[in-house]
Chain A
């Protein structure tokens, strides 16, 4: 990265594409649901020129449906059993009957292809990230291939169900546009015991001032493995920021004794920076409830803090990865998440140019910013989180406090309800002690 300020006060501006030119692919039309309703997904959802019946131009779609699986009975490739679950220690699916282990293929080669991110243009979405159709119900009725009976699955709560007649396990794998089946899933790698130990250690460090009721009711064994819905986004963007910066030219004092004050002279510069960059696997919440991070009313910021995940290792969807875990369903479309993405891209741009303003020793005040999104690629993904939830009510105000463990890296963060009374006593004790010292100094020097 070039430190422009340090090398030359007025560097020549390198030629670059006109940043004010609007990009035709930037808009995100909401016609993806129509494409998504077709079971045979194609590599591109864009209309062909000259086709009078073509739908309006929409985002390009990458088919990510796991063609090997369908809704209903999906058997072990070795013995045909449907009792399949994830073995977290290996990250593989294991047949409970014959112990055969296998894994679905990684999604990244299918999504990323051969091209470089700097060549990314337009909007590309995985078929599992298509717009949600409100008309599509979350409750599915599947016909059991084992005995023919009908089994109901509420995808808001589970992605599999056991046939109550023949005991086969039926799983949901078709990408119907209700947000239940994503493009990919990143399996748990941190086992339950490790998560419990991490949560216990986290809470143990925060025991002294924890609320009395929390200390009495704390049971980390109740931690639940949850697959949270996210959008994993690649982007190719350009950004401009303009503002003013000050460089100190002189520092001096005026007055004498107690009236002595320091004054500064400074040169003021108008500053402009442009940066072109790509981001790889920016991870954004795709559930409206989880995206709300108002710390006055919830502790969703805790779950956000344990990001990032090693999303490159995500695999094609197979509902059996969720057996024994719970999941939350995506309820946000690409268009709803776009503003969050742009906020994060602008923040990254501001972070990237920081190294070029170090010469402004009195700081920089950015006043305008501009973002040109040349290309984005969206993949919906379930990411693994061990979640300990504690419902706490105090003076009529209720809040769920989370302690969350990243199901891949083990990173732990949490919120522990505090005893405000004990906190006040501690603050008063320290305050009084410091005040006593201050008073002693004053009395001694009076």
Chain B
């Protein structure tokens, strides 16, 4: 699938014939590479293209912008109270963070209780 996308991109850009042949050579190199080797490098091109498109689109359209009321409103809070109780242990997980971490996603609403 990845190879198809790359070939399509190179086709659309007919002037880049050397790139096509290089992709073909690389695909052979990737095929000969062991699983988990450096073949993932071929994703760098599409990923950077996508990042450029999305980054420029957002810079022009600013669809992600809104009033940062959490920081820009005058708030006076009392000392924060609460509790922390150890309830479980996790052993031998490959996850780098707690599932569903939302400590910094202030606007994601969770279950509202009365």
Contacts and interface: CB of A to CB of B under 8 A. Distances in A.
Interface of A: 1-2, 4-5, 9-11, 13-14, 16, 20, 22, 117-118, 206, 209-210, 241, 243-246, 249, 258, 261-283, 293, 295, 299, 301-302, 304-308, 343-344, 346-348, 350-357, 360, 362-371, 413-418, 423-424, 426-428, 430-432, 434-443, 445-446
Q: List 6 A-B pairs, minimum CB-CB distance, nearest first.
A: A435-B45, A431-B49, A363-B101, A277-B77, A446-B29, A364-B103
A264 B95 contact: yes
Interface residues of B, number: 85
Given A11-B83, A265-B92, A435-B19, A416 B61 contact: yes
Contacts of A9: 84, 86
A415 B112 contact: no
A43 B85 CA distance: 49
Contacts of B49: 427-428, 430-432, 434
B110 A368 contact: yes
Contacts of A442: 26, 29-30, 33, 38-39, 41-42
Nearest to A3: B80
Interface string B40-78: 011011101110110011011111011101111111111
24 contacts: A4-B81, A11-B81, A266-B98, A267-B88, A270-B83, A271-B83, A274-B81, A283-B69, A301-B66, A350-B70, A351-B70, A352-B77, A356-B80, A362-B97, A366-B102, A370-B113, A415-B60, A417-B60, A418-B60, A423-B56, A435-B6, A439-B42, A443-B26, A443-B29
B6 A445 contact: no
A424 B56 CA distance: 10
B83 A10 contact: yes
B87 interface: yes
How would you classify the secondary structure of chain B's contact residues: helix, strand, loop or mixed? mixed
A308 B67 contact: yes
How would you classify the secondary structure of chain A's contact residues: helix, strand, loop or mixed? mixed
Contact of A439 (B26, B60, B84, B106): B26
Given A368-B111, A432-B9, A280 B73 contact: yes
B77 A275 contact: yes
Contact of A428 (B12, B42, B97, B99): B12
Given A246-B90, A418-B57, A439 B22 contact: yes
A432 to B, nearest CB: 6
B60 A416 contact: yes
